[in-house]
Structure 1
């Protein structure tokens, strides 16, 4: 089944912006729900309302598509196309007002990512990509940094804040932080799209979920970021991204440390 990927991108961007506005409008009145997988895996009624807005909008346009959504509004499909949705990546930042968050929507054909949108509501920035068509920020082309040596590089790090992963990240930072220019902790999707825009020279994401990285990974790859994992392609267990010139050095050190 063919698909107009530009139409899919435009709808996804519209829904992401609408969800982002909902998040800004309801930030002062949000209600917290019970934690999910662990005490730091938080969710609010705004996460759920944002996901419903996105899922309903996509279903109205393509009712035969499958959806995988973080807060449980997914559904099976028959078209061979699947939407991967994180309605609010960085909920802890959002509720505590301590950092950025984003709305993430990706479209897969089978196992192949074909379209992606990551929207930062607070900054008013919408990152997009269509498979083979390059990466864009607010309709302007973006590309990866030149890639300085690791000792000068700014590296993003993202991880699930459970005890096991935090212990793993602590060991990684012990080994990696002295070797690089500096490190920023940031939600996974923004980690990847900041690499795409050249703001970060590289990044690591550990023990994520597919909805955390699906959209950002396609945008990063379309901007020229080299992506990989422990061996071969990136996975939710470990995603390493870097400017091509930085990739060999960062990948070697990250694989040894992680």
Structure 2
């Protein structure tokens, strides 16, 4: 079944901006829910309201599409198309006011990502990509860093804050920090889109979920970021990204430690 990807992108961008505005408006009055998988896996009523806003609109526009959504508003579909939604990637940053967060929407045809939006509400920035159509920031084309050597590179690090993954992240950081220019911890979607626009030279994400990386990965790839994991394909268990020049050394170091 054909799909107007430009129309899908435009709707997703509008929904992401609307969800981001909701998050900014309700930040002072949010209500926390019970932790999910572990004590550091937090959720608020704003996460849930943002997801509902996005999923309701997508379902109204394409009722036969499937939806995978972090906060439980997913649904099956039979069109061959599926939406992958993280309504608020970086909830801990959002509620504590200690860093950035984003709204992430990706559209898949089968197992293939075809459209992606990552919106940063605080910065008012929207990153987008269509499969084979390049990557953009607020409508302007973006490209990945040409890549300084690892000793000068700024590397993004993303990981789930559960005990097992924190131990993995500690090993990777101990390996990378003395060898790299510096590192930044940042939510996974922004890690990937910052690589796409050259703000980060490379990055890695450990033990994510598909909704954490689906949108950012397509944007990064369309901008020229090389992505992989322990093998040639990235995964939710390990995603490594960098420009072509930096990729071999960064990937070798991360794979050895992760």
Tell me the TM-score normalized by structure 2: 1.00
User: What are the residue-to-residue correspondences of 1:182-197 with 2, within 5 Å?
Assistant: 182-197=182-197
Residue 143 of structure 2: aligned partner: 143
Residues 199-210 of structure 1 aligned to structure 2 (within 5 Å): 199-210=199-210
Give the corresponding residue for 2:171. 171
Partner of 1:34: 34
Deviation string 1:113-166 (CA, Å, 9 cap, x unpaired) is 000000000000000000000000000000001100000000000000000000
SS in structure 2 opposite 1:178? coil
Match in the other structure for 1:109:
109
Which structure 1 residue ranges, 5 or more long, are not aligned? none
Structure 2 SS opposite 1:179: coil
Runs of at least 4 residues off by over 3 Å: none
Whole-angstrom CA distance in 2 between matches of 1:132 and 1:231:
23
In the TM superposition, what is the alpha-carbon distance from 1:257 to its structure 2 partner?
1.0
2:127 counterpart of 1:127:
yes
Q: How far apart in 2 are the matches of 1:176 and 1:96?
A: 27
- CA RMSD in angstroms, aligned pairs only: 0.4
Distance 2:119 2:45 in 1: 19
Matched with 1:233 is 233
Cα-to-partner distance string for 1:163-197 (whole Å, 9 max, x where unaligned): 00001111111111111000000000000000000
Q: SS where residue 224 of structure 2 aligns? A: coil
Number of equivalences:
258
Match of residue 8 from structure 1: 8
> Residues of 2 paired with 1:56 and 1:143: CA distance?
33
Query: 1:83 — aligned with what?
Result: 83
Gaps (5+ residues) in structure 2?
none
Tell me the distance in 2 between the aligned counterparts of 1:175 and 1:53. 42
What is the DSSP-based 3-state SS (H/G/I as helix, E as strand, rest coil) of the residue aligned with 1:126? strand
What SS does structure 2 have at the residue aligned with 1:239?
strand
> Which digits, 9 at most, give the CA deviation of each residue in 1:196-244, with x for residues without a partner?
0000000000000000000000000000000000112000000000011
CA distance in 1, matches of 2:215, 2:237: 16
Q: Which residue of 2 aligns with 1:22?
A: 22
